[in-house]
Chain A
Amino acid sequence: MTIRSSHLNEISEKLRGDGLCLRTGPFSVRVQSNIQSVAECIHLLYQHHPMQNLEFCDYHLAITQPSGLRRWFRPQINFEVDGMIPFKPMPLDQAYATFEWGYNYCISSYAHQFLIIHAAVVEKHGFAMIMPAQPGSGKSTLTAALASKGWRLLSDELTLIPIENADTVVPLARPINLKNASIDVMREYAPEEVFGPTVSDTAKGTVTHMRAPISSIDRMNEPAQQKLIVFPQYHRNSPTQIKPRSKARAFMEIAEQSFNFNIHGKTGFDILNATISNCDCYDFRYSNLDEAIELFDQLIEQQHYSKESARLAESST
């Protein structure tokens, strides 16, 4: 049963009561909130996501507006994880965004059954392309654009490598966080996609969220094989350029972008070593989304073609 099957009023009532449990890939999250905008955003952006019963949910999140005078003067919300408040209150209009960031916080703090890298990851032909988050990368815009053009969205923020199956990447298929200029870029590039409300004056500037494509959500339990690591850099008017990056330097950057590499010690090191070895690593400069996607399509086709040729060669011997 998906969120879609419930009316907004029912969603709102559940959130104000015992909570609503959403499934995203390997995790389930119980959400409670007395804030209407949270209900509206969940109803819109998680419309195709499955709900599950409340018996066991991995994380219990609550985004609530406390009663008291603060309700009317610069209203704030509290964010709770499992009944604890880990950080400062946020302004009311950032309630839904806080839910998304808070969910990221939970996963990156507690989900050590995965090696977690701060990177976007998309998939085509079963191959995962990982794009680490560096300033100026424009990775979220790229991720959103790729998702709108037939690539499967695994995640815009968290690349999850299962410790027990370390050649793969596991999806979350959650809404994509867009900020500032990329909001207008994506509204123009893919007007058919569904966007949540825009919120200004956050620590990241203006943010919104784009709903994940239905096909990505339907395949949220399907891992992808590690194949490409691309370090994007957006430069205005830059031609589309790609060149190989040394694996040692790719390792350094990925380790830097990993939330829990050091928690896994030697195991984490071995897994990252294997991931880097599994993947072709590239530095990528671009300014034009269509050209960027065309190049990625070619890259992945090459991989697909090589794999198919190898498979055919094997089956004919």
Chain B
Amino acid sequence: MKNLISEVFSNPETINHFQLNDWDLLVRQARNSDLAGKLFVLLRDNSLLSETPKQALPHLTSAHVHTQRHGELVKYEIHQLYNELSELDTPIILLKGAAYVAANLPSAEGRFFSDIDIMVHKSRVAMAEDALQHKGWRGSDVDDYDEKYYRTWMHEIPPMQHSKRGTTLDLHHTIIPETARYRPDANKLFKAAIPVDGYENLYTLCPEDMVLHSATHLFSEGEFELSLRDLIDIDALLRLFPTQNQQFWQRLIGRARNLDLKQPLHYALRYCRELLNTPIPDQAYDEARNQAATEGPSQALTHFLLERGLRPNHSSCHSSLHGLWLWMLYVRSHYLRMPFKLLIPHLLHKALITPYEEHKRDREAAKHQDIHTLLALRNR
């Protein structure tokens, strides 16, 4: 099983030993994992584009061009959204991709962000939803069951879609559903947030919180197809922030305790080190590990599943049971997000009404429709 993505991101010079058929596999693994753009950036930043064979280079360049333009459009989207919400006069925190783009972080370059995620104080959510609806944002196509899932059970707003621009927006009041196992205090996040240049009342999370949010999100996630990409985002943050602040590692570990996100931090550091060779000082690594749970059968199972879930999204990295491991990670994510009494009915509903595999395929198929519609849609 050749995980060429991990090999190359851990040590870019590895490509010097590649044969052409290794590049063939690397392009497949990268494209399917939404990492082709990031791979271009990695090779460029390590002055290795000249060592990239002419057969492979156009694939990486194409992906990079696409993601660059996507970044421009996200910037415009943030600008529009800011104008739409400025009347609210309440702090808004950009999360995830939108935050990377707004703060011009290295994580922003080379990848797509499907939604814009923002966070406001819980008391302002209704107002914000109202203001957004007045500016052309509508609830997106979720069925009644999913609407109930979001609002009643998860205490979240379902994603909204802009009627003209088509962008999807997720409005949050915390970084993980209230019902979940981890309960970081959102007020603490607001207190530490960092303003975005040029936009009053617009913020991103502070560096430690950004890492912890990404880690919590990734390791409570249900869909693992693009998880390696999300891990690479964290790797980029962990490479950047220590250069900006010598205290970063201590602050990160302390903050994880403070927000009760010790477990996701440990996972993030563990898998970044194992899969991407992220430079993490031993002391920081050990401290993060010691304050989290690492022993016991459930930990062993979690490690087993995560190790498989974090592989490139290509058959070359999957055993025949891969579907089973993904399903177990899916169940695990719901276990982490929902109280137990809701979990079984929810899973049953999903299991009977939309069996897991078909649900995923239908979701993909509905997105892409048939080839002719897809080719027609490409023009937009």
- Is B371 in contact with A82, judged by CB distance below 8 angstroms? no
A125 to B359, CA, bound (A): 54
Assess whether B62 is in contact with A55, with CB atoms less than 8 Å apart: no
Q: Mark A82-117, 1 if CB is under 8 A from B, else 0.
A: 111111101000000010011011001111110000
* Centre residue among A54, A83, A118 by max chain B CB count within 10 A: A83
Q: What's the nearest-Cβ distance from chain B to residue A313, in Å?
A: 39
Answer yes or no: B324 CB below 8 A from chain A CBs: no
Pair A56/B69 contact, Cβ less than 8 Å: no
List the A residue with the shortest CB-CB distance to B23. A56
A264–B378 touching, CB < 8 Å: no
Query: Interface code B65-93, partner A: CB below 8 Å = 1, 0 otherwise?
Result: 11001001000000000000000000000
B372 / chain A contacts, CB cutoff of 8 Å = 101, 203-204
Whether the pair B58, A55 counts as a contact (CB closer than 8 A) is no
Assembly CA distance A263 to B19 (angstroms): 31
Is B122 an interface residue when CB atoms closer than 8 A count as contact? Answer: no
**Does A257 reach chain B (CB closer than 8 Å)?**
yes
CB–CB B374/A112 < 8 A: no
User: A82 and B28: CB pair below 8 A?
Assistant: yes
Q: Which residues, 1 to 35 on B, are CB-close (under 8 Å) to A?
A: 19-21, 23-24, 28, 31-32
With A and B bound together, what is the CA distance between A279 and B379 in angstroms?
22
Q: Which residues in B have their C-beta under 8 angstroms from that of A88?
A: 365, 368-370
A44 at the interface (CB under 8 A from B): no
Q: Does residue B142 face the partner (Cβ distance < 8 Å to A)? A: no
Give the shortest distance, in Å, between B380 (CB) and chain A (any CB).
8
| Contact in complex: B20, A82 (CB < 8 Å) | no
Q: What are the residues of chain A within 8 A of B72 when measuring CB–CB?
A: 265
Q: Are the CB atoms of B62 and A112 closer together than 8 Å?
A: yes
| Chain B interface, DSSP helix/strand/loop, else mixed | helix
The one of B66, B365, B368 that contacts A112, using a Cβ cutoff of 8 Å: B66
Proximity string of chain B (345-380) to chain A, C-beta cutoff 8 Å, 1 when within and 0 when not: 000000000000000010011001111101100110
* Bound-complex Cα distance A110 to B37 (A): 12
Q: What residues on B are CB-neighbors of A260 within 8 Å? A: 378
A262 interfacial by beta-carbon distance below 8 Å: yes
Docked Cα-Cα span, A79 to B374, in Å, equals 14
Let me know if B244 is at the binding interface, CB within 8 A: no
**Distance in Å: Cβ of A211 to nearest Cβ of chain B:** 22
Are A111's CB and B58's CB within 8 A? yes
Confirm or deny: A141 has a beta carbon within 8 angstroms of a beta carbon on chain B: no
- Are A263 and B66 closer than 8 Å at their CB atoms? yes
What's the interface size class on B, roughly?
A: 35 or more
Is the CB of A64 closer than 8 A to any CB of chain B? Answer: no
Q: How many A-B residue pairs have CB under 8 A?
A: 90
**With A55-B19, A60-B28, A86-B364 as contacts: A264 and B374 at CB distance below 8 Å:** no
A contact residues around B62 at 8 Å (CB): 110-113
A258 within 8 Å of B by Cβ? yes
Looking at the complex, which one of B32, B61, B375, B379 makes contact with A101 (CB distance below 8 Å)?
B375
Asked if B59 and A105 sit within 8 Å, CB to CB, the answer is no
Q: Which chain B positions have C-beta within 8 A of A85?
A: 361, 364
Bound CA–CA A36/B269 (angstroms) = 51
Q: With both chains docked as a complex, state the minimum distance between the C-beta of A308 and any C-beta of chain B, in angstroms.
A: 35
Within 8 A of B (CB), among A112-129: 112-113, 118
Contact partners of A118 in chain B: CB under 8 A: 375, 379
Min C-beta distance of A17 to chain B, whole Å: 16
Give CA–CA (A82, B65) in the complex, Å. 21
Instruction: Tell me if B55 counts as interface (CB < 8 A to partner A).
Output: yes
Q: A56-B20, A83-B32 are in contact. Are A256 and B371 (CB under 8 A)?
A: no
CA distance A87 to B375 in the complex (A): 11
Kindly state the separation between the CA atoms of A258 and B376 in the bound complex, as whole angstroms: 10
| 0 or 1 for each of B253-275: is its CB under 8 Å from A? (1 = yes) | 00000000000000000000000
> Beta-carbon contacts of B40-64 to A below 8 Å, as 1s and 0s?
0000000000000101101101110
CB distance from B8 to the nearest CB of A (A): 16
User: Is B28 a contact of A56 with CB atoms below 8 Å?
Assistant: no
Q: A55-B21, A263-B65, A264-B69 are in contact. Are A110 and B375 (CB under 8 A)?
A: no
Which residues from chain A contact B313 at a C-beta distance below 8 Å? 84
A90 shortest CB reach to chain B, Å: 8
Contact A55 B24 (CB under 8 A): yes
**B181 touches A (CB below 8 Å):** no
A35 within 8 A of B: no
B72 and chain A: residue at smallest CB distance: A265
Q: How far is the CB of A32 from chain B (nearest CB, A)?
A: 12
Residue on A with the closest CB to B380? A262
Query: Does B314 count as interface, using CB distance less than 8 angstroms?
Result: yes
A58 CB–B CB distance under 8 Å: yes
Contact (Cβ within 8 A) B61 A113: yes
A259 at the interface (CB under 8 A from B): yes
Q: Does B368 contact A109, Cβ atoms closer than 8 Å?
A: no
Query: Which residues of chain B are near A289, meaning CB under 8 Å?
Result: none
Cβ contacts B116-135/A at 8 Å (1 or 0 each): 00000000000000000000
B315 at interface, CB cutoff 8 A? yes
3 cross-chain pairs, A with B, having the tightest CB-CB distances, nearest first: A112-B62, A55-B20, A56-B55
Q: A54-B21, A84-B313 are in contact. List 18 more A-B contacts (CB 8 A).
A: A54-B24, A55-B20, A55-B21, A56-B20, A58-B59, A83-B315, A85-B361, A86-B374, A88-B370, A90-B371, A101-B372, A104-B375, A108-B378, A109-B378, A110-B31, A110-B59, A258-B379, A259-B378
Sample 23 A-B pairs with CB under 8 A, ordered by A number: A54-B21, A54-B24, A55-B19, A55-B24, A56-B20, A57-B24, A60-B28, A79-B371, A82-B31, A82-B32, A83-B28, A83-B314, A83-B316, A88-B370, A101-B371, A109-B378, A111-B62, A112-B61, A113-B58, A203-B370, A203-B372, A204-B372, A259-B378
Give me the interface of B with A, judged by CB distance under 8 Å.
19-21, 23-24, 28, 31-32, 53, 55-56, 58-59, 61-63, 65-66, 69, 72, 313-316, 361, 364-365, 368-372, 374-375, 378-379
